[in-house]
Chain A
Amino acid sequence: AQSVTQLDSQVPVFEEAPVELRCNYSSSVSVYLFWYVQYPNQGLQLLLKYLSGSTLVKGINGFEAEFNKSQTSFHLRKPSVHISDTAEYFCAVSETSYDKVIFGPGTSLSVIP
């Protein structure tokens, strides 16, 4: 069965520093992968998604993620964070033949001035 692990529940980082949010999934078949962001008191918004092709995916607000099939990982990175990046980040996975998306538990990113 599918599952998504986000190893870090909270990540504090100083403004303008780089950040990596980790995501690992378990699945024995081909997958689609997503990162969503939730700003305080709002719904989720799509940051980026991997369906096929290049394993490096670029998203909005300067974020990117790399799909590593052998490691079953889809880590999210940003080279320089801003105060406005403070939010909850969710990794999600779906199987190509299964009509549901499984969300990870989320990582709370706090950017410190």
Chain B
Amino acid sequence: NAGVTQTPKFRVLKTGQSMTLLCAQDMNHEYMYWYRQDPGMGLRLIHYSVGEGTTAKGEVPDGYNVSRLKKQNFLLGLESAAPSQTSVYFCASSFQSGRYNEQFFGPGTRLTVL
């Protein structure tokens, strides 16, 4: 049981490049989330999904897109990376809503945009 996994673990991009971060969970959770973590700001929600085929905006969605084509996967895309998107990205999942259920987090992806 791997829990929540994220690919890749590290990435360096140049301004304007695109990339996709992959999150996978093997716990059959309905809800999945993408957060970014910046020093002194805690975690901020980018996008989330309440089930396969659904997505919704979080607190800081601009510059990101997501897709949830399969229940176990949640993809985060950056179409045109900017230095302001340098951050650590965490994916999480929960059985039902994370507002009252434990969220299980992946190990994170450290992204640097030059």
Partners in one complex: yes
B62 proximal to A (CB < 8 A)? no
Query: A-B contact count, CB below 8 Å?
Result: 61
Contact code string A75-98 (vs B, CB < 8 Å = 1, else 0): 000000000000000100011101
State in angstroms the CA–CA spacing of A96 and B97 once bound together. Answer: 10
Find the B residue at minimum CB distance from A9: B40
State in angstroms the CA–CA spacing of A98 and B58 once bound together. Answer: 12
Contact A49 B42 (CB under 8 A): no
Contact A94 B43 (CB under 8 A): no
Contacts of B35 on A, CB cut-off 8 Å?
103
Contact A100 B59 (CB under 8 A): yes
Contacts of A4 on B, CB cut-off 8 Å?
42
- Find A32's partner among B99, B103, B106 (CB 8 Å cutoff): B99
State in angstroms the CA–CA spacing of A94 and B59 once bound together. Answer: 13
State in angstroms the CA–CA spacing of A74 and B32 once bound together. Answer: 26
Looking at the assembled complex, report how far the CB atom of A82 sits from the nearest CB atom of chain B, in whole angstroms.
23
Query: Using a CB-CB cutoff of 8 Å, which residues 79-114 of chain B contact chain A?
Result: 90, 92, 97-100, 102-103, 105-108
Contact B106 A43 (CB under 8 A): yes
Query: Using a CB-CB cutoff of 8 Å, which residues 40-62 of chain A contact chain B?
Result: 41-46, 49, 51
B41 proximal to A (CB < 8 A)? yes
Query: Using a CB-CB cutoff of 8 Å, which residues 20-45 of chain B contact chain A?
Result: 35, 40-45
State in angstroms the CA–CA spacing of A38 and B104 once bound together. Answer: 12
Contact A94 B4 (CB under 8 A): no
